[in-house]
Amino acid sequence: MTVLAPLHFADAREAAALAAFLARLVHYDRAAAVRLQAGGGALAVFGRPASFEVLAVRTARLVDAVDLDVTVSAGELLEGIEESAGKAVVPDSVTGPPWAGVLPPRTGWRPVPGLPDAADMRAAVAAAVAEFRARDEELPAERRTRAERDVIGREIWSRTLGATGLPLRAVHAAQSLGFLPPADTEAPVALLASGPWLRLRTPYGSIALRTVSMTLTVAPE
């Protein structure tokens, strides 16, 4: 077993932000894993929130130029974060899930026009959630099954946001993980593309996904 040195964050607030991100991942999946990549004084944490079928990326600045590439338990990493000290103990590695081997590229991103502002994206998610609930309530009792709800969810959350090509489920994931800026701020939000990948980038994290057909389950609210 290789014992890794603790990660020391350049700002203790970044440790708290990472802890909040991990807590949300574990909320959706207690067995969630994350892939950590560090280099040049920066840390990138990749996770796959259950049901959304996207990759969530949270970054943080480190005091030291650590080289690291390992997949670990999200819950164990969360337990190893000391927010007041601004550091994290990296747990033992785990066998990575399939998604951990297919990460978005680091370079080659280009802007995609037409992305609404954060307020409009929140409104789009709220409307989609309301539609799902209304259609679910309209189902007769004998058809109110997980399979039937998955069909409704797939249809709603696979819709794209305007002409951007970004599925609503990606925006829903960003909101659920706390990545969308608060309504009272003007923090920049951008949509980028690289090859088959789309990336919704905000100051609080990114949501990335491949623009290929995927099976979608109902995204929790």
Give pLDDT tens digits for 100-151: 999 999 999 999 999 999 999 999 999 999 999 999 899 888 888 888 998 9
Q: What is the pLDDT of residues 4-55, one digit of tens each?
A: 788 999 999 999 999 999 999 999 999 999 999 999 899 999 999 988 889 9
Taking the CA of residue 171 as centre, how many other CA atoms within 13 Å lie in the half-sphere pointing to its CB? 30
- What are residue 139's phi and psi, to 5 degrees? -65, 135
Report the alpha-carbon distance of residue 68 to residue 62 in Å, rounded.
12
Q: Is the dihedral of CA 33, 208, 116, 125 positive or negative?
A: negative
Residue 189: strand, helix, or coil = coil
Q: What is the pTM of this model?
A: 0.88
Per CATH, which fold does 7-97 belong to?
A: DNA Polymerase III; Chain A, domain 2 (3.10.150)
Whether the Cβ atoms of residue 19 and residue 13 lie closer than 8 Å to each other: no
pLDDT digits (tens, 9 = 90+) for 43-99: 999 999 988 889 999 999 999 888 999 999 999 999 999 999 999 999 999 998 999
Whole-number average pLDDT of the chain: 90
Which residues in the chain are classed under CATH 3.10.150.10?
A: 7-97
Q: Kindly state the average pLDDT of the residues 145-165.
A: 91
Mean pLDDT of 152-168: 92
